[in-house]
């Protein structure tokens, strides 16, 4: 007959944390709450520290546990790289904007593993081809990611002029047709 007492002890020892895991949990608990931090740089530093700690934690994907609780270190590194990128609104150079946009798209592919639990809606699950992505990056390089409102205004004025010319031709045609109809 198997010794039930030793099986229970083995299971209990497998569930206990070792010193390194306890140290990681202690570091995590000592971090300030993100919503209490006012300084943006400090908030980013704490968030990066938090991601580092999660990266050190062991995979929680062991037998008998939910596979959704696994810490994916590649995805965590991608999130850290994403957070370190400059904000597109702060960049002035078109090439820098295009490079950052391309990096964001590349990192999003790496972070897909962390989005497995996200709600799946077929309308929101859009996939772009490489040609479409390259066209957008090229457009950012050419236009600096900004709209040319002067050019849009010129197009609007041309459309208004064409509408007025069309209305004048319609009026002229109506007058000519009514004159022809009265002469007969």
Percent of the chain with pLDDT strictly greater than 70: 72
Residue 142 and residue 92 in one domain: yes
pLDDT of 123 above 50: yes
**Residue 5 in domain:** no
**Residue 156 in domain:** yes
Per-residue pLDDT of 100-116, as tens digits, reads: 888 888 887 777 655 55
**Residue 3 in domain:** no
What is the domain extent for residue 25? Answer: 13-71
CA–CA dist 96, 86 (Å, integer): 10
Q: How many domains does the chain have?
A: 3
**Residue 52 in domain:** yes
CA–CA dist 68, 90 (Å, integer): 36
Residue 109 and residue 141 in one domain: yes
Other residues' Cβ atoms within 10 Å of the Cβ of residue 76: 21
Burial of 81 (0-12, 13-18, 19+ CB in 10 A): middle
Residue 159 and residue 184 in one domain: yes
Residue 100 and residue 142 in one domain: yes
pLDDT of residue 172: 96
Residue 141 and residue 157 in one domain: no
Q: Which of 7-21, 28-42, 61-75, 147-161 has the highest mean pLDDT?
A: 147-161
pLDDT of residue 17: 62
pLDDT of residue 10: 47
Residue 165 and residue 178 in one domain: yes
CA–CA dist 102, 108 (Å, integer): 10
**Residue 80 in domain:** no
Residue 130 and residue 159 in one domain: no
Residue 89 and residue 133 in one domain: yes
Residue 91 and residue 58 in one domain: no
Over residues 51-64, mean pLDDT: 62
Residue 113 and residue 158 in one domain: no
pLDDT of residue 170: 97
pLDDT of 13 above 60: no
pLDDT of residue 178: 93
Residue 163 and residue 112 in one domain: no
CA distances from 77 to 83, 107, 114 (A): 10, 9, 11
**Residue 8 in domain:** no
Angle between helices 73-84 and 40-56 (to 10 degrees): 170
**Residue 77 in domain:** no
Per-residue pLDDT of 58-71, as tens digits, reads: 654 444 444 444 55
CA distances from 169 to 143, 172, 174, 182 (A): 38, 5, 8, 20
Residue 140 and residue 90 in one domain: yes
């Amino acid at each position: 007959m198997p010794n039930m007492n030793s099986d229970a002890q083995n299971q209990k020892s497998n569930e206990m944390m070792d010193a390194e895991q306890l140290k990681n949990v202690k570091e995590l608990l000592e971090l300030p709450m993100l919503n209490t931090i006012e300084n943006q740089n400090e908030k980013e530093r704490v968030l990066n520290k938090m991601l580092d700690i999660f990266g050190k934690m062991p995979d929680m994907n062991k037998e008998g546990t939910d596979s959704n609780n696994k810490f994916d270190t590649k995805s965590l590194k991608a999130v850290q790289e994403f957070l370190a990128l400059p904000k597109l609104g702060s960049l002035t150079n078109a090439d820098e904007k295009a490079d950052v946009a391309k990096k964001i798209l590349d990192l999003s592919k790496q972070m897909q593993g962390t989005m497995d639990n996200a709600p799946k809606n077929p309308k929101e699950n859009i996939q772009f081809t490489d040609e479409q992505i390259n066209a957008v990056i090229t457009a950012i390089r050419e236009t600096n990611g900004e709209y040319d409102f002067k050019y849009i205004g010129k197009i609007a004025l041309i459309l208004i002029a064409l509408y007025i010319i069309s209305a004048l031709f319609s009026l002229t045609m109506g007058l000519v047709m009514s004159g022809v109809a009265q002469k007969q």
